[in-house]
Amino acid sequence: MCGIVAYIGQREAYPIVLKGLKRLEYRGYDSAGVALLNGNGLKVYKKKGKVAELEDHLSGKDVGSHVAIGHTRWATHGEPSDRNSHPHSSGNGKLAMIHNGIIENYSLLKQELLKKGHVFNSDTDTEVLIHFIEEIQSSNQCGLEEALRIALKRVVGAYVIVLVDEDNPDTLIAARKGSPLVIGVGKGEHFLASDASPIVEYTKEVVFVNDYEIAIIKADELILKNISNERQTPYIQKLDIELAAIEKSGYDHFMLKEIFEQPQTIFDSLRGRLDAKSGTLTLGGIREHAAILSQAKRIIIVACGTSWHAGLVAEYMIEELCRVPVEVEYASEFRYRNPVVGEGDVIIAVSQSGETADTLVAIESAKQKGAIILGVCNVVGSSIARLSHAGAYTHAGPEIGVASTKAFTAQLAVLCMIGLKVAQEKGTITQQRFQHLLDELDAISEKVATTLKLNDQVKQIADKYKDARDFLYLGRGYNFPVALEGALKLKEISYIHAEGYPAAEMKHGPIALVDENLPVVFVATRDSYYEKVVSNIQEIKARKGKVIAVVTEGDQTIPGMADDVIEVPAADELIAPILSVIPLQLLAYHIGVLKGFDVDKPRNLAKSVTVE
Ligand code: M6R
């Protein structure tokens, strides 16, 4: 949610920052802006709309500079507009700041500043913070670093901020609490960004800044301090991302590329962990906690959005395999409703980004109450991963498309392995079933590749139904969360109203929607609910609904009833969602594209929701 990028060094800063903003645009695209510092002083340019509009606005202007900060915005305080865009400036115009996060007590601070004569040019919380820092600087007669430290002690909320100061053109100052900040360490240069994607082209050496740390960055020096002004040693890590992983590589959209990457990403999530031949499963990240996990009184999965859907599949898997109660919670509800949680509970936090604010805060409070936290994250070094006691990365590679696809299937693979590992530890699974599921997981990447060959067929179905006003997605058992995920994908990408429902629950309300204009997508692969789902399909057909069914290859029954049938390879019902979700991802993608929408940057959304 909002992308920030900055550069200080010997190169031309603007092209680096601009390219970085394009890479971070998935985090928000309501407006974009840059501040450039050179011998002629500080210049701030900003524009409502996507980064391309800022680029047009700056074409032909003098953008020469070796120090720059840039921002791409997902609006929270104040509508998307030029004046609400970042960077924001201090009253004297000497400071410029970019910010990702929310200053919750900005209104109180603003009242104080207004009384002191400050004039504001935007509706943002960010502009209040930069004026507050400026006010402290002048009233305390102190330098920027000291003023920032004092200001942050009064600030309530989450932030990553980066400041440039016309009077100190060789220094950037940054601070973090609750939002991500990565610093790339080059030779005589530093790069700052919300994630590693703008940095990886230039250096693989990075420092993940921690909460309550302030970084003072010059071209050839990086100083980290905590909020009490004590020096911290920067921990330099090596990035394991290649540039190709964050580029479209010939695909029209990141979303399509990421859908098609799934055979490889699922393989990567299993690699080094699962060895079907020897019948072994090794999850290094949870090894030390395996005993605690197996003794858990209860497992609570917290997540949001697509990750929550993966959590719901995991509830079914883990309860079946491990015979332990599992609850799945929306992180945003869990964090506020004072849940009963404590020692003996294991929390599994599922998050692609590892930065989702609600999930992060939910696990922080559960950790304080004594629960063990297991992180299932995709982004290495992310806040949730670092806050967790143990965990397993999904290794799906950078996911840039705002609609999550490959992260979901990798989450399912990893959560299944966790379930298997705990079941083995607890002795709640037979050796035969354990081996069968290892074999099934081992074969899943190939089956995903086979499923992707349905792309053209799904595109035709998309064309047939693209003008529908509403869609219903139905499934039972392991396929119920898949129905929810299919509906979410369609809503996000095509702006068509879609509801996911348990197929049997449909009779208790949504069936009233069914008529000849309503496409109903059934996720109806062969599993223990199959016969029941067939009856549900008949109930829809009896009311003239249009049925699109995702079935198992060779199904002899449903093709005789459904209007359109998509056949996926057979798989054990525990892992069948990894296959059955793929046609639904493709359906949403093609409908979105056919309707002319920007599927990688759907309106109002951002990839990483780092505000509440
Ligand atoms: O990064 P996370 O997995 O924590 O993100 C959770 C949701 O914000 C995310 O899944 C969102 O729902 C996606 N746009 C779904 O496609």
Taking only the tens place, the pLDDT of each residue in 69-103 is 999 998 878 888 989 999 999 999 999 999 998 89
The verdict on the CB of residue 306 being under 6 Å from ligand 1 is: yes
Q: Show the CA angle centred on residue 536, arms to residues 535 and 541, nearest 5°.
A: 95
Separation between Cα atoms, residue 406 and residue 398, nearest integer Å: 10
The CATH number of domain 455-594, selected from 2.40.37.10, 3.10.20.600, 3.40.50.10490, 3.40.640.10: 3.40.50.10490
The verdict on the CB of residue 353 being under 6 Å from ligand 1 is: yes
* Per-residue pLDDT reduced to its tens digit, 279-295: 999 999 888 888 888 89
Token duo for residue 53: 């509009």
Separation between Cα atoms, residue 27 and residue 31, nearest integer Å: 11
Locate tokens 């095509």: which residue?
Answer: 494
The verdict on the CB of residue 411 being under 6 Å from ligand 1 is: no
Separation between Cα atoms, residue 471 and residue 464, nearest integer Å: 13
Span 479-491, average pLDDT:
98
pLDDT at position 293 is: 87
Separation between Cα atoms, residue 385 and residue 381, nearest integer Å: 6
How many C-beta atoms surround the C-beta of residue 170 within 10 A? 14
Q: How far is the CA of 405 from the centre of ligand 1 (A)?
A: 10
The verdict on the CB of residue 352 being under 6 Å from ligand 1 is: yes
Separation between Cα atoms, residue 602 and residue 275, nearest integer Å: 39
Q: In ligand 1, which atom is closest to the CA atom of 304? A: 6
The verdict on the CB of residue 404 being under 6 Å from ligand 1 is: yes
Q: How far is the CA of 416 from the centre of ligand 1 (A)?
A: 20
* Per-residue pLDDT reduced to its tens digit, 554-567: 999 999 999 999 99
The CATH number of domain 247-448, selected from 3.40.50.10490, 3.60.15.10, 3.40.50.1370, 3.30.930.10: 3.40.50.10490
Span 456-470, average pLDDT:
97
Secondary structure letter of residue 497 according to DSSP: E
Asked if the domains at 247-448 and 455-594 fall in one CATH topology, the answer is yes
Locate tokens 């970084």: which residue?
Answer: 215
In this prediction, what percent of the chain has a pLDDT beyond 90? 84
Q: Are 191 and 203 in contact (CB under 8 A)?
A: yes
pLDDT at position 606 is: 77
Q: Are 30 and 10 in contact (CB under 8 A)?
A: no
Is pLDDT at 140 greater than 90 in this prediction?
Answer: yes
pLDDT at position 611 is: 67
Helices and strands (DSSP H and E) totals, the chain = 18, 27
pLDDT at position 291 is: 84
Is pLDDT at 359 greater than 90 in this prediction?
Answer: yes
The verdict on the CB of residue 359 being under 6 Å from ligand 1 is: yes
Separation between Cα atoms, residue 51 and residue 55, nearest integer Å: 6
Catalytic residue among 22, 110, 546, 607: 607
- Averaged pLDDT of the chain: 94
* Per-residue pLDDT reduced to its tens digit, 494-525: 999 999 999 989 889 888 889 999 999 999 99
For residue 206, list its beta bridge partners. Answer: 184, 237
pLDDT at position 506 is: 87
Provide the residue ranges of all domains of the chain, joining segments of one domain with +: 3-239, 247-448, 455-594
Separation between Cα atoms, residue 598 and residue 596, nearest integer Å: 7
Q: How far is the CA of 600 from the centre of ligand 1 (A)?
A: 14
The burial class, CB within 10 Å (0-12 / 13-18 / 19+), for 291 is exposed
The verdict on the CB of residue 311 being under 6 Å from ligand 1 is: no
* Per-residue pLDDT reduced to its tens digit, 41-60: 999 999 999 999 999 999 99
Q: How far is the CA of 332 from the centre of ligand 1 (A)?
A: 13
> Pocket of ligand 1, candidates 179, 302, 306: which has the most ligand atoms within 8 Å of its Cβ, to mutate?
306
Separation between Cα atoms, residue 213 and residue 192, nearest integer Å: 14
- The SS3 of residue 550 is strand
**204 confidence band (pLDDT: 50, 70, 90):** very high
Q: In ligand 1, which atom is closest to the CA atom of 605? A: 14
Token duo for residue 316: 């079914």
Q: How far is CA 126 from the centre of its chain?
A: 23
Fill in the amino acid letter for 611.
Answer: V
Nearest CA to ligand 1 atom 12: 305
Span 376-395, average pLDDT:
93
> Pocket of ligand 1, candidates 255, 404, 603: which has the most ligand atoms within 8 Å of its Cβ, to mutate?
404
Q: What is the pTM for the complete model shown? A: 0.83
pLDDT at position 240 is: 81
For residue 205, list its beta bridge partners. Answer: 238
The verdict on the CB of residue 405 being under 6 Å from ligand 1 is: no
* Per-residue pLDDT reduced to its tens digit, 206-241: 999 999 999 999 999 999 999 999 999 999 999 887
Fill in the amino acid letter for 15.
Answer: P
Q: Are 56 and 124 in contact (CB under 8 A)?
A: no
| Whether domain 3-239 has CATH 3.60.20.10 | yes
